Amino acid sequence: MTNLSYTADVARDTASVYALLKDQYTADHWETLAPYIAEINRLKHEKNAVILAHNYMTPDIFHGIADIVGDSLALAREAAKTTGDIIVQCGVHFMAETSKVLCMDKKVLLPDLKAGCSLAESITANDVRLLRERYPGVPIVTYVNTSAEVKAESDVCCTSGNAVKIVNALDADEVLMIPDQYLAQYVQTKTKKKIHYWAGSCMVHERFTANDITRFRAQYPGVQVLAHPECPPEVLTASDYTGSTQQMIEHLETHKPAKVVLITECSMSDNVAATTPSTEFVRSCQLCPHMKRITLPKILECLRHETPEILVDPAIAVRARVAVERMLELSK
Ligand code: 13P
Ligand code: SF4
């Protein structure tokens, strides 16, 4: 059994991470996290594992152990080219499935199989087959926040970072976007094509209201409001910028606002604030209960025992992969 104490070696190995995160974790709290960070980093090198972490992971994971961080699009791109033998997906189930579909020869691990997504749960493969009958000849653009079975029934995938580009690249006047009604309505404001959509939504972003934005502006004069396209239309209209989590980071790097509020999952602000000291981050703050299932102790157990592993039926994977690769090709 490995020693998980806060030794001098652990303190030394994690000092640079703690320097970034000292405003977010007390010294006592850090002493409980650092041994996990040191041991996970040791084990991932021993096993040639790559840790992919979404922008919604907590800062200890995001800054402490991840090899690649980013939005859903960046993680899919990196999964497609990784040379590791094992991928540990620090994110939710659909992200791990996307990695598996792109890397069938690799072992893909998800530290908690219950880390799901309200969007992915809102639609089944059978729903998509029925939609095909209802909208004959209309291409189906499927958000990556779906199961591999749903992707397999689709023409092409999209993420929040490339949805407009993918829809506009299709040779069709009408498009069916599934399953996020709000992402679809946002895309409708950016394209001349007619967008039909499914009525799914993200349980985190749907909770924001235009009133929240009014309150932020009143309480923090001059605050820049950046919102995720999974938010309802009135929230996006009241915001200064709309983009995926990665696009928000790029916007911050370019515009360097003095004060900002990110209308998205809460950990995102913690992660970016650690490396952007010149900007004051107003906390929004909505947590995704699925993303929050991923913790350092579960990641360590998962890497040690190489379970839970994500498996996808090869017949489904082949078809889902076509839709994901078409997205990667069109979004280059
Ligand atoms: P992006 O990181 O692609 O913007 O997606 C946000 C999200 O909610 C993922 O579950
Ligand atoms: Fe799904 Fe929303 Fe959580 Fe992302 S934040 S995993 S879209 S429920």
Whose Cα sits closest to atom 2 in ligand 1?
71
Given a cut of 70, is residue 238 above it in pLDDT? yes
Stretch 149-155: mean pLDDT: 98
Given a cut of 80, is residue 3 above it in pLDDT? no
Q: In this structure, are 13 and 110 located in the same domain? A: yes
Given a cut of 90, is residue 13 above it in pLDDT? yes
CA atoms within 13 A on the CB side of 297: 3
> Ligand 1 center to residue 100 CA distance, Å?
18
pTM: 0.96
Q: In this structure, are 225 and 259 located in the same domain? A: yes
Q: In this structure, are 19 and 97 located in the same domain? A: yes
Stretch 58-81: mean pLDDT: 94
Has residue 329 been placed in a domain?
Answer: no
Has residue 105 been placed in a domain?
Answer: yes
Residue 260: what pLDDT? Answer: 98
Q: In this structure, are 19 and 107 located in the same domain? A: yes
The domain of 189 spans 120-202
Tell me the pLDDT band of 73, cut-offs 50, 70 and 90. confident
Q: In this structure, are 78 and 137 located in the same domain? A: no
Percent of the chain with pLDDT over 70: 99
Neighbours of 311 (CB within 10 A): 12
Q: In this structure, are 170 and 157 located in the same domain? A: yes
Q: pLDDT for 268-327, tens place per residue?
A: 999 999 999 999 999 987 999 999 999 999 999 999 999 999 999 999 999 999 999 999
Whose Cα sits closest to atom 2 in ligand 2?
202
> Ligand 1 center to residue 1 CA distance, Å?
37
CA atoms within 13 A on the CB side of 47: 22
Alpha carbons 152 and 241: distance in angstroms, whole number: 33
Task: For ligand 2, say whether the CB of 72 is within 6 Å of any of its atoms.
Answer: no
Give me the number of domains the chain comprises: 3
Whose Cα sits closest to atom 4 in ligand 1?
244
Task: For ligand 2, say whether the CB of 288 is within 6 Å of any of its atoms.
Answer: yes
Tell me the pLDDT band of 332, cut-offs 50, 70 and 90. confident
Return the SS3 of 119.
Answer: coil
> Ligand 2 center to residue 291 CA distance, Å?
7
Which residues lie below 8 Å from residue 88, measured CB to CB, with a gap of 6+? 44, 49, 50, 51, 52, 109, 111, 299, 302, 303
Task: For ligand 2, say whether the CB of 57 is within 6 Å of any of its atoms.
Answer: no
Q: pLDDT for 110-130, tens place per residue?
A: 999 999 999 999 999 999 999
Percent of the chain with pLDDT over 90: 96
Pick the closest to residue 96 from 328, 248, 273, 308 (CA basis): 308
Residue 284: what pLDDT? Answer: 82
Task: For ligand 1, say whether the CB of 295 is within 6 Å of any of its atoms.
Answer: no
Tell me the pLDDT band of 224, cut-offs 50, 70 and 90. very high
Q: In this structure, are 295 and 257 located in the same domain? A: no
Alpha carbons 117 and 103: distance in angstroms, whole number: 22
Stretch 184-210: mean pLDDT: 98
Tell me the pLDDT band of 1, cut-offs 50, 70 and 90. low
Has residue 69 been placed in a domain?
Answer: yes
Q: In this structure, are 278 and 300 located in the same domain? A: no
Contact yes or no for 197/185 (Cβ under 8 A): yes
Whose Cα sits closest to atom 10 in ligand 1?
145
The CATH number of the domain where 107 resides is what?
3.40.50.10800
Stretch 47-75: mean pLDDT: 96
Contact yes or no for 302/278 (Cβ under 8 A): no
Whose Cα sits closest to atom 7 in ligand 2?
202
Which residues lie below 8 Å from residue 59, measured CB to CB, with a gap of 6+? 20, 21, 24, 25, 267, 270, 271, 274
Has residue 322 been placed in a domain?
Answer: no
Q: In this structure, are 192 and 210 located in the same domain? A: no
Residue 102: what pLDDT? Answer: 94
Q: pLDDT for 93-112, tens place per residue?
A: 999 999 999 999 999 999 99
What atom in ligand 1 is closest to the CA of residue 71?
Answer: 2
Given a cut of 60, is residue 33 above it in pLDDT? yes
